[in-house]
Structure 1
Amino acid sequence: MAEAMTAPSPAAAGSTAPMLQVQDLQAWYGESHVLHGVSLDIRPGEVVTLLGRNGAGKTSTLRAIMGLVGRRTGSVRFEGKETIRSRPDEIGRAGIAYCPEERGIFASLDVTENLRLPPIVRPGGLDIATIHALFPNLKERANSPGTKLSGGEQQMLAIARILRTGAPLLLLDEPTEGLAPVIVQQIGATIREIKKRGFTVLLVEQNFRFAQTVADRHYVMEHGRVVDTLGRDELAGSTDRLHAYLGV
């Protein structure tokens, strides 16, 4: 299928209708009840973060949105369509792309093969030339096995791989975890660039100092619940609240 360089356009970035609307989301791993009524929404073109300490439920929220938990109830509406009973593969084909913390790079494939592996789900994905412009390291390492890359290069590859699919909503789980500061800066620049191109991002982060450089809004989680919401313009006056939540 031909790859396009235009940005995804299921809705205009300035639209007020949520691209993703989560209401009273409950989730379980076996008998363990990990999410307790999570509600959030994301409008087209936004970058929104989930903040919180380890174990707060951030990753479980992404996995529950994708249907990758043992059981879930509540409502997860994507572009107005209910997905709570959909399978993970159906959710992916609908236009939600998930980049897990462990990255999922295939050892037996080189960089280009890893890039080309996921299917195109919509027009609007980035072509290989554009990906190479965003991530010059991937062009230099195009024929290298995926797991021979550095941690930062593997993270770039994991993000680049989903940008190619054309999915308009990207779920990124801890993309800066364990990376050198220079790579963190590059990941931040990439998120700002893909926002300009019309992608919508839900980002899990523990590094608030990074999150505040890329995000429009922040949801704070504790014990499997959303306990606060902060807009970018509220951050300066919310230092004490954030310290209490995150220990920053």
Structure 2
Amino acid sequence: MRDALPPALHVRDLEAWYGESHVLHGMTLRVEQGEVVTLVGRNGAGKTTTLRAIMGMLEKVKGAIDHEGKDLLALRSNQIARRGIGYCPEERGIFASLSVEENLMLPVNVSADGMEVAELYTLFPNLAERRHGQANKLSGGEQQMLAIARILRTGATLLLLDEPTEGLAPAIVQQIARMFRLLRERAYTILLVEQNVRFASKLADRHYVVEHGKVIDMLSSDDLAIRRSHIETYLGV
């Protein structure tokens, strides 16, 4: 049962800065084991900064970030990744000059649970078709699939995904949704930054609404479905 386990991720009173710019102002959220949780909010609300702070990518951070009961603030980014936390940034970060398969073979395994390349090709048939092609020749949707597949190759079980459907064609978004359903079945824990409310409402357990660097509301998926038009108006989408 989820309640018998420590939360996969617990962020409390988190503050963060870019230089002198104070971006997070007491961000607090909790993600249980096996949950899919989204951060929704306007551009500039602090969603991406939250993911970057969790991954130890900011120089100035205050508050508490616990992963399965372990404090992350004292750890470097590489140490955080080796705890089984995978981060897929909005810009994806694939190695453009390498082939699809070379990208998949590069990551270091952080656990024995990392997916084999053959399994990833089953999950992402588009990548199987392009396995020998150069990564920068992939479509935007295929690059997104490759970025997520690389994380799954490592064995990470907590996934931090930043805007995985942004700018993608509807058919590719459907493939990404299928992938999320399969990951849910395998009990992956996912914290997702997502502006596509329709997409998020069908996949996530809960949704944190972020504004001015802090959470201002928390909705269940049922609440989000009922209030979707209101939330979309609020988000300006």
Structure 2 length-normalised TM: 0.96
After superposition, where does 1:178-217 map in structure 2 within 5 Å?
Answer: 178-217=167-206
After superposition, where does 1:104-115 map in structure 2 within 5 Å?
Answer: 104-115=93-104
- The separation in 2 between residues aligned to 1:178 and 1:14, in whole angstroms, is 37
After superposition, where does 1:136-175 map in structure 2 within 5 Å?
Answer: 136-175=125-164
Amino acid of the residue matched to residue 29 of structure 1? Y
Which residue of the partner structure matches residue 16 of structure 2?
27
**Can you give the 5+ residue segments of structure 2 that lack an aligned partner in the other structure?**
none
Return the offset for 1:243: 4.0
Aligned residue pairs total: 237
Native 8 Å contact 2:41 2:211 kept in 1: yes
Native 8 Å contact 1:15 1:43 kept in 2: no
Say if 1:17 and 1:241 are closer, same or farther in 2 by CA, change over 3 A: farther
Say if 1:191 and 1:236 are closer, same or farther in 2 by CA, change over 3 A: closer
Q: Secondary structure at the match of 1:54?
A: coil
CA RMSD of aligned residues (A): 1.5
Amino acid of the residue matched to residue 106 of structure 2? L
After superposition, where does 1:1-248 map in structure 2 within 5 Å?
Answer: 15=4, 17-239=6-228, 241-248=230-237
Amino acid of the residue matched to residue 231 of structure 1? S
Of 228-237 and 191-200, the range deviating more from structure 2: 228-237
Native 8 Å contact 1:14 1:45 kept in 2: no
- Shift >4 Å, 4+ stretches: 12-16
